[in-house]
Amino acid sequence: MSRKRLVLIGDSVFAQIACEFFQFDSDYEVVGFSVESRFLTRQELFGRPIVAFENLPDLYPPSDHYAFVPIVFTQFNRLRTRLYCECKIRGYRMASYISSAALVRPHSKIGEHCFICEDTVIQPFAEVGHNVVIWSGNQICHRCRIGDNSFLLPNCVVSDGVTFGENAIVGANVTVMSDRTIGKDCYLGPATLIDADLPDGSVLERTPTGSAPEIPIEKPIP
């Protein structure tokens, strides 16, 4: 059975990890990388070409290639979201990666263009939106809703009935207690414990001084 041909949009460390995971733990064959021309500083990665994003359809036609955008939460997830949307406009089918070592229960729902790493558990009736990255060791309990374009770093516990709005950034080892609602564009710093609802644009950071950093929030993408 032939494998589906995949182009990764980016050449960062995340792109390198995504290449490894897709290549050896999926039915995709990674055939190349692509970056916007102003960031094109090398010609190949892992023996595969890196091409200008502006020329991508001519070199890797969407009729027989899939795309995935392995970019972290740069610009509060807006960069990954913009390139994901541009790929769809160009006609690419968007790939997802779900680790063979993740446990995704029946009756859960996973959107398109997601990246779910090993040792993550997604329980029944949980919903993960589109363009979501869930790193290793996360626990997404039943009845949870993870909003589109969100990014969860390792070892978070999202208790039952929690709802995240769009564009969340959730640091490593965060715990969110049951039935809480987290607004869109929220940043939860590493090791924070959330036991209250949070409005849009909330920034919580667990630091020795208890202070929270100023993090610019851009206007949401329509």
| pLDDT per position as a tens digit, 42-90 | 999 999 999 999 999 999 999 999 999 999 999 999 999 999 999 999 9
pLDDT confidence of residue 211: 44
Considering the domain architecture, whether residues 45 and 73 belong to the same structural domain is answered as: yes
Last-in-domain residue among 75, 94, 113: 94
* Residue 165 covered by a domain: yes
pLDDT confidence of residue 183: 97
Report the distance separating Cα 93 and Cα 108, nearest Å.
22
Report the distance separating Cα 8 and Cα 33, nearest Å.
5
Last-in-domain residue among 94, 116, 145: 94
Considering the domain architecture, whether residues 100 and 200 belong to the same structural domain is answered as: yes
Domain range for 52 is 4-94
Structural domains of the chain, count? 2
Considering the domain architecture, whether residues 109 and 82 belong to the same structural domain is answered as: no
Last-in-domain residue among 67, 94, 121: 94
Which residue positions in the chain have pLDDT lower than 70? 1, 207-222
Considering the domain architecture, whether residues 106 and 194 belong to the same structural domain is answered as: yes
φ, ψ of residue 31 to 5 degrees: the values are: -105, -15
pLDDT confidence of residue 212: 45
Considering the domain architecture, whether residues 79 and 159 belong to the same structural domain is answered as: no
Report the distance separating Cα 115 and Cα 70, nearest Å.
8
How far, CA to CA in Å, does 171 sit from each of 71, 98, 122, 158?
Answer: 16, 20, 18, 12
pLDDT confidence of residue 1: 65
φ, ψ of residue 109 to 5 degrees: the values are: -125, 130
Considering the domain architecture, whether residues 10 and 66 belong to the same structural domain is answered as: yes
Residue 143 makes CB contacts below 8 A (sequence gap 6+) with: 125, 126, 160, 161
**Taking the mean position of all CA atoms in its chain, how far away is CA 214?**
23
Considering the domain architecture, whether residues 103 and 191 belong to the same structural domain is answered as: yes
| Amino acid occupying residue 198 | L
* Alpha helices (runs of H) in the chain, residue ranges in sequence order: 13-24, 56-59, 78-89
